[in-house]
A and B are shown apart, each in its own frame.
Chain A
């Protein structure tokens, strides 16, 4: 088989959908992970461990931290950097104890009136035998319900990949932000392709159909803000990417803090309650 060249136009390549280009950027191996953002944006980071019931999930990070001197609770999934660490952290996919630990941290923040900021970059909740035994579905469901009524300002940021219910379980928040080249989807393009096209290699088409880019998610009103990234993606300049994100977080936090708590809760409730794409038939 001959390679396509300028002198050999016989091989026609299909254009790569923009959604797939962004999916690859969102998953870029050099893309800063949530911890890399946290390290650049916060000071006085004191990690807390454990769900008080089963154990500590190495894929979930919770910490008291300061954003420009202000006390906040920071929650993020941890992906790991070395191969060994990646395996230990299950490539960033939390187990039920991870979601329960996150909820415990959120309740702690609520008790002392501190805002919660979550950072998400995961393929999904861990699909495992132990995860099912320990109630992955219940843990996610509980977070959705409890996050909807936390009496403190909450902001979620999808920094890379927002994979389905595993991401949503940290993102029922007053503001949901996505980095410009992040994706947020009900199912991975690969899984969607293998179910709907019966061919996992159709992942680029699936990515386009799912409209999982920040623009796509915004177009169906499931997103509050798109955070700009350095030209070429966050990995080309992680410091600048973190600066751009911190700027947006400040802005949103100031707006949320100005609201009386009852209004904050009402707005959060209505935001999700009004995500509705239907019409009334005769």
Chain B
């Protein structure tokens, strides 16, 4: 059974999930059962056996929320590599590889289209593009989605999946938090609805900016959502973190989430919320 031999042959990072998703079968991370990849694909990447939510790519996310005929927008921005950053590898090369692997220019995709009778603007983050990290292109693309929502008075939905600010763009990445938050202040003043949907993972500077600023803050089951990384916290407080720490139920219990919404119910939940927020 060579299709899930990862235990004895551990490959790290993005390549790991690709090894496991090639072929016809895959093993569920949660329940350990073997599932048809076709079943997973037709079930929005939710395990049909246990309901575990696998990551859903940005384009598939948009497809899952909008009626056919939606239009992709602002997909043509690319990073200038403002710091000419290089660690063990140059950032420019990492960008090229991510662009090649995902077919996207950066870690977010925006679209306009219909959701439950409402014309909406959606931005969905792509975790497969350098961990969904936010540099200038993600910042600008989301800020444009906010502007578009305000100018057209169409509700904005942002689906987050991100490790946080992209360190290879340094301080420029940090400033994207301010930029999007300032744009959201204007959207708020214009009374145009904004719903934030946090998926696994939503961390760092993404959580600490637009992800927490929704008129409604929603999360998918099982998503890791937090500011500091669990390992950093464990090292700081020198104790083990409680079960369920930074999971949706934890955030809801502490008052930072409006609802935990399973993927298959997300579209109808959003449509219902938009009915409340505006006349169809």
Asked if residues A132 and B181 are in contact (CB atoms below 8 Å), the reply is no
**Size category of the binding interface on chain A:** 35 or more
Task: Pick from A132, A186, A195, A222: contact of B228, CB below 8 A.
Answer: A132
Task: Pick from A132, A196, A278, A281: contact of B87, CB below 8 A.
Answer: A196
Asked if residues A272 and B175 are in contact (CB atoms below 8 Å), the reply is yes
Q: Which residues of A contact B176 (CB under 8 A)?
A: 275
Q: Which residues of A contact B45 (CB under 8 A)?
A: none
Q: Give the contact stretch, choosing among B22-30, B50-58, B111-119, B205-213.
A: B205-213
Closest A-chain residue to B74, C-beta based? A280
Q: How many A-B residue pairs have CB under 8 A?
A: 200
The total of chain B residues at the interface (CB under 8 A) is 66
Q: Is B156 an interface residue (CB 8 A)?
A: no
Distance from B91 Cβ to chain A, minimum over Cβ atoms (Å): 9
Q: Is A137 an interface residue (CB 8 A)?
A: yes
Within 8 A of A (CB), among B132-168: 135-137, 139-140, 143, 165-168
Interface residues of chain A: helix, strand, loop or mixed (majority): helix
Interface string of B236-270 (1 = CB under 8 A from A): 11000110011000100011100000000000000
Q: Given A129-B233, A138-B256, A272-B182, is A164 in contact with B228 using a C-beta cutoff of 8 Å?
A: no
Asked if residues B256 and A135 are in contact (CB atoms below 8 Å), the reply is yes
Asked if residues B175 and A222 are in contact (CB atoms below 8 Å), the reply is yes
Closest A-chain residue to B163, C-beta based? A195
Q: Given A132-B227, A172-B181, A279-B80, is A210 in contact with B241 using a C-beta cutoff of 8 Å?
A: no
Closest B-chain residue to A223, C-beta based? B171
Asked if residues A141 and B212 are in contact (CB atoms below 8 Å), the reply is yes
Interface residues of chain B: helix, strand, loop or mixed (majority): helix
Asked if residues B171 and A212 are in contact (CB atoms below 8 Å), the reply is yes
Q: Give the contact stretch, choosing among B3-11, B63-71, B183-191.
A: B183-191
Q: Is B15 an interface residue (CB 8 A)?
A: no
Q: Is A41 an interface residue (CB 8 A)?
A: no
Q: Is A77 an interface residue (CB 8 A)?
A: no
CA–CA, A191 and B163, complex, Å: 14
Asked if residues A281 and B105 are in contact (CB atoms below 8 Å), the reply is yes
CA–CA, A216 and B265, complex, Å: 47
Q: Which residues of A contact B226 (CB under 8 A)?
A: 132, 137
Asked if residues A172 and B178 are in contact (CB atoms below 8 Å), the reply is yes
Within 8 A of A (CB), among B9-35: none
Closest B-chain residue to A172, C-beta based? B178
Q: Which residues of B contact A216 (CB under 8 A)?
A: 83, 170-171
Give me 16 A-to-B residue pairs in the complex whose CB atoms sit less than 8 angstroms apart, sorted by A's number. A128-B228, A128-B237, A129-B233, A138-B212, A141-B181, A165-B165, A165-B174, A165-B209, A187-B167, A269-B186, A273-B143, A273-B183, A275-B176, A276-B140, A277-B82, A278-B80
Q: Sort A-B residue pairs by CB-CB distance and give the 8 closest, nearest first.
A: A127-B228, A148-B182, A144-B181, A196-B87, A277-B82, A137-B207, A137-B227, A140-B208
New A-B contacts (9) at CB < 8 Å, excluding given A135-B254, A149-B189? A128-B228, A132-B227, A165-B209, A165-B227, A168-B178, A195-B167, A216-B170, A269-B182, A273-B183
